[in-house]
Structure 1
Amino acid sequence: MPYEFERTHRLAVLGGGPGGYEAALAGAQLGADVTLVERAGVGGSAVLTDVVPSKTLIATAEAANAVREAADLGVQFYTHSDKGRVVRPEVAVNLGAVNKRLLALAQQQSADMKASLVRSGVRILQGDGRLDGPNTIVVSTGRGKSRTDFDEVTADTLVIAVGASPRILPTAKPDGERIFTWTQLYSLEAIPEHLIVVGSGVTGAEFASAYLALGSAVTLVSSRDQVLPGEDDDAAAVIQAVFKRNGMTVLNKSRAASVTRDGDGVIVTLADGREVKGSHALLAVGSIPNTAGIGLEEAGIQLTESGHIRVNRVARTSMPSVYAAGDCSDFLPLASVAAMQGRTAVFHAMGDAVTPTEQRNVTSNIFTQPEVATVGWSQHQIEEGVAQGEIYKLELASNPRAKMMGLKDGFVKIFARTGSGTVIGGVVVAPKASDLILPIALAVEHRLTVDQLARAFSVYPSLSGTITDAARAMHIVG
């Protein structure tokens, strides 16, 4: 049932992704009259075409890998041929069924989010919105490609959460059949025979890892010295080594000049003239904010040169009545950050208690196999003197639970302030690193020392024991 109290503060949210959704919920919770404008569906691209479907695909890839590697633990799969002979079956993935399932999950998640908003009393308008000044959103709500019906939403506070879209290069245009962006892959009915992934950042590495596990031959084109540029060097080295050991071709220092269709295949031409031929290509060369043509600059809102909306630590823009959250802002492009920005923006606008978002406390994760999770200051920053810290790294292979599970790749790395031993950052490379990073993230957020972290009881045996073991090794003698 919608809330019954009188609503006085008017809040309008443009975009229903994680940032817009959380902003709308927070506004309703605080008693605002909330209108959410979304053109595709609640959840936005994060739920419908990006985070939810891609991580569901990755979960399937992990399951396929687990079956293949079960023999290392003594688990064997056999069947009998027509002649009664024992044969070992191949692991087969029905990609059409996988994609059907993940798209259904995405739609269900979107429906659940919409129902939550409706229960909270949020008014939802489906259509294309643009600003008409710093307090008004004009929404075209007609059906079909040309929307002719318009609605106008006037509010005390606007939250812009319009997200971002895959970057398209003039020499590499997706066709949705052989050349794809990461939002288009879910139309595939069969595993690509040979997938060429252009771009070795987070998105490229994740999909390359997933399709390799699903059974594709994969070539990863990386313009840098190794995959995952900008991430922890040791973590990137582990991921690249795993990729190569599992049969992936990694082309480092190789920039793609063009991607073209070649009958039932594709040709990726590199800047040095080499050609790489495959059955399909995935373009993972970054994203651009969806900020063009929606009246932001006309409303007095400052943008960066890349088109992102400038925001401060409470997600406020250059106009006091306008906030921005998510990938369209110039903060970190993470769904968790977008959600936090959305809540923070509304809390600040409506005078509730607010903690400005601290970028160094943000936890991020790369869903490769194994995963890479990071939080806080990086090793690069410590080595460059930006932060004063000690570094300790403990290989996952030394952990008893890891030995039981047959895990050989990965590590835990902790960074602690020189002198005080306060935890200022960390890296985890392991299966489900996205879960294992939480104790380190809590230590960073609450300024715990390595001794305090070490005093927590980790289960024996467990992978989390690597974290307390690493913290114990950094004991500060007082």
Structure 2
Amino acid sequence: MSTSATSSVASPVAQQQRVAVLGGGPGGYEAALVAAQLGADVTVVERDGLGGSTVLTDVVPSKTLIATAELMATVGGATELGVRFPGGPTSDTEPAGAVSVDLGRVHQRVKSLAFAQSTDIRARLEKEGVKVLNGSGRLDGPQALVVTDGEDAGARVEADVVLLSTGSRPRTLPDAQPDGERILTWKQVYDVEELPEHLVVVGSGVTGAEFASAYDALGAHVTLVSSRDRVLPGEDADAAEVLEEVFRRRGMNVVSRSRAESVVRHGDSVVVTLSDGRTVEGSHCLVAVGSVPNTQDIGLQEAGVWTSESGHVDVDKVSRTSARGVYAAGDCTGVFPLASVAAMQGRIAMWHALGDTVAPLKLRSVASTVFTSPEIATVGWTQAQIDSGEAQGEIVKLPLSTNARAKMLGIHDGFVKLFCRTGSGTVIGGVVVAPRASELIFPVTLAVEKRLNVDDVAHAFSVYPSLSGSLAEAARQLHVMAD
């Protein structure tokens, strides 16, 4: 299979195919690019802007905000490295205060970058000959899309292949309805001009933890309300424990085992009422309690597309739905709510639909990151699965506190954890908790994807001093255990 962007050779079958894509997020626009490369006539219908919520209101904006927060956190620890700022503290016992954030400018930059990324995606699609229609759309049977509103309302797109990539939206609580000013979803935070004095974050999953970490670093007082016994209940338990420890040490108020029943605004404040009757008062509240797929009223049932009880589109490992010729990708499928997975689902769908070489989606080698401070990155099998006997594996965990580079950088929290198959020593997973864990997880992902042995990892040279050196050390220790 040729995947070169400069290839001009298209499949003779694909040249005659018409592809319609509903939704211009990562799953949609990546599918469109693959289909165009294979010679199809491609039309994308998008309501809000190319890139979808990933680019406009979710991943790109939140990670841009987090980048500023990360810099603030780094500056906050600079005194330990001997750095002093004009007007700042002159000793470790004095309060910080030399650096502050202009949230209005931060959000202006967030929106500017999101718009620029969306514009770049549109330009790339147009360069490849993809037609873009602006507006909402719905299926009209399994082989057509109709634009129901917006600039191109009334347009009808006949297709041999349809891809649904409609994404998701923030879930809200019946008694915690967002107003866009004091009670917010993660799509609305970028309209707040002043740093919240006291932000109450409801929900301690990935989104809640990321925003709690970011606003804490930016200087807001943060209360994180978790309905579970710890933050990040779906992540590695050791990693979650480190993060919660860091949160509490930095002054964040973490309220565990407490479900929010309601959020009510009173002028310039909000009151969050918990299920046990306690209340938390703050200046703003961010509701981060999951998401809902955008699959309502888009003609799924009429077209024969099955959905789960949660409303997610049922797909197989090559992104096919129950309706012939209809595929789906991204958050609307509920497979794995990551932009990288959505993009791969979209590509796989087009490779399969248009007769190119394709391999089914493999979730076991998908790396994911929680962009808190420190970051948490994981790939492959988990320790919980090994502990339960679902997977047979050996585990080595090394704290970063003993790593020479970590000491130089003033890093006190975090670890690397590597898992290998019992007996064979094949790397089956890992966890990294550290600054830039999203980068450090890549060699582990390669090892999992290519089924490398711990000896393969151990025998590769690592830079000294480096944080990645701890991965090599973990592999060396697993060699002994694997024997």
1:201-212 pair list within 5 angstroms: 201-212=205-216
Q: 1:66 & 1:439 partners in 2: Cα distance?
A: 25
The answer to whether structure 1 residue 46 and structure 2 residue 54 are counterparts is yes
Q: Indicate the SS of the match to 1:235.
A: helix
Q: Report how far residue 79 of structure 1 moved.
A: 3.7
Bigger shift: 355-364 or 338-347? 355-364
Residue identity matched to 1:110:
S
**Deviation per residue, 1:102-153 (Å, 9 max, x gap):** 100000000001000000000000111000111100013544xxx8x40110
Match of 1:129 in 2: 137
Aligned residues: 470
Match of 1:104 in 2: 112
Q: Indicate the SS of the match to 1:297.
A: helix
Residue identity matched to 2:250:
N
**Deviation per residue, 1:206-246 (Å, 9 max, x gap):** 00000000000000000111100111000000000000000
The answer to whether structure 1 residue 73 and structure 2 residue 77 are counterparts is no
Q: 1:142 & 1:191 partners in 2: Cα distance?
A: 34
Match of 1:159 in 2: 163
Q: 2:323 aligns with which of 316, 319, 322?
A: 319
Match of 2:92 in 1: none
Match of 2:360 in 1: 356
Match of 1:58 in 2: 66
Q: 1:35 aligns with which of 36, 43, 54?
A: 43
The answer to whether structure 1 residue 198 and structure 2 residue 202 are counterparts is yes
Match of 1:22 in 2: 30
Match of 1:257 in 2: 261
Contact 2:212 2:224 (8 Å CA) reproduced:
yes
Match of 2:384 in 1: 380
The TM-score, its normalising length taken from structure 2, stands at 0.95
Contact 2:145 2:157 (8 Å CA) reproduced:
yes
Match of 2:441 in 1: 437
Q: 1:278 aligns with which of 279, 282, 298?
A: 282
Match of 1:391 in 2: 395
Q: 2:368 & 2:87 partners in 1: Cα distance?
A: 42
Q: Indicate the SS of the match to 2:35.
A: helix
Q: Indicate the SS of the match to 1:435.
A: helix
Q: 1:115 aligns with which of 123, 130, 135?
A: 123
**Deviation per residue, 1:349-394 (Å, 9 max, x gap):** 1111111111111111000000000000111111111111011101
Residue identity matched to 2:380:
G
Q: 2:7 & 2:247 partners in 1: Cα distance?
A: 51
The answer to whether structure 1 residue 291 and structure 2 residue 295 are counterparts is yes
Contact 1:77 1:88 (8 Å CA) reproduced:
no
Q: Indicate the SS of the match to 2:222.
A: strand
Residue identity matched to 1:339:
A
Distance change in 2, residues 1:79/1:257 (3 Å): closer
1:209-228 pair list within 5 angstroms: 209-228=213-232
The TM-score, its normalising length taken from structure 1, stands at 0.96
Q: Report how far residue 330 of structure 1 moved.
A: 2.8
Q: 1:88 & 1:472 partners in 2: Cα distance?
A: 42
Runs of 5+ consecutive residues of structure 2 not aligned to the other structure: 1-5, 89-94
Q: Report how far residue 260 of structure 1 moved.
A: 0.6
Contact 1:2 1:120 (8 Å CA) reproduced:
no
Q: 2:9 & 2:440 partners in 1: Cα distance?
A: 42
Q: 2:249 & 2:270 partners in 1: Cα distance?
A: 25
Match of 1:424 in 2: 428
**Deviation per residue, 1:253-291 (Å, 9 max, x gap):** 011010010111000000010010000000000000000
Distance change in 2, residues 1:2/1:230 (3 Å): closer
**Runs of at least 4 residues off by over 2 Å:** 1-7, 87-90, 140-143
Q: 1:457 & 1:129 partners in 2: Cα distance?
A: 53
Q: 1:201 & 1:89 partners in 2: Cα distance?
A: 30
Contact 1:70 1:76 (8 Å CA) reproduced:
yes
Q: Indicate the SS of the match to 1:304.
A: coil
Residue identity matched to 1:471:
A
The answer to whether structure 1 residue 92 and structure 2 residue 100 are counterparts is yes
Distance change in 2, residues 1:276/1:21 (3 Å): same
Match of 1:10 in 2: 18
Residue identity matched to 2:439:
D
Distance change in 2, residues 1:363/1:2 (3 Å): closer
Q: Indicate the SS of the match to 1:71.
A: helix
Q: Report how far residue 3 of structure 1 moved.
A: 7.2
Q: 1:324 & 1:334 partners in 2: Cα distance?
A: 14
Q: Indicate the SS of the match to 1:285.
A: coil
Contact 2:183 2:286 (8 Å CA) reproduced:
yes
Q: 1:411 & 1:467 partners in 2: Cα distance?
A: 10
Q: 2:127 & 2:459 partners in 1: Cα distance?
A: 43
Q: Indicate the SS of the match to 1:138.
A: strand
Q: Report how far residue 88 of structure 1 moved.
A: 7.3
Q: 2:431 & 2:474 partners in 1: Cα distance?
A: 12
Residue identity matched to 2:324:
P
Contact 1:125 1:141 (8 Å CA) reproduced:
no
Q: Report how far residue 78 of structure 1 moved.
A: 2.1
Runs of 5+ consecutive residues of structure 1 not aligned to the other structure: 81-86
Residue identity matched to 1:78:
P
Q: Indicate the SS of the match to 1:452.
A: helix
Q: 2:251 aligns with which of 228, 239, 247?
A: 247
Match of 1:367 in 2: 371
Q: 1:184 & 1:357 partners in 2: Cα distance?
A: 33
The answer to whether structure 1 residue 411 and structure 2 residue 411 are counterparts is no
Distance change in 2, residues 1:4/1:220 (3 Å): same
Q: Report how far residue 298 of structure 1 moved.
A: 1.1
Q: 1:227 & 1:172 partners in 2: Cα distance?
A: 21
Residue identity matched to 1:16:
G
Residue identity matched to 1:433:
A
Distance change in 2, residues 1:273/1:292 (3 Å): same
Distance change in 2, residues 1:350/1:272 (3 Å): same
Contact 1:372 1:429 (8 Å CA) reproduced:
yes
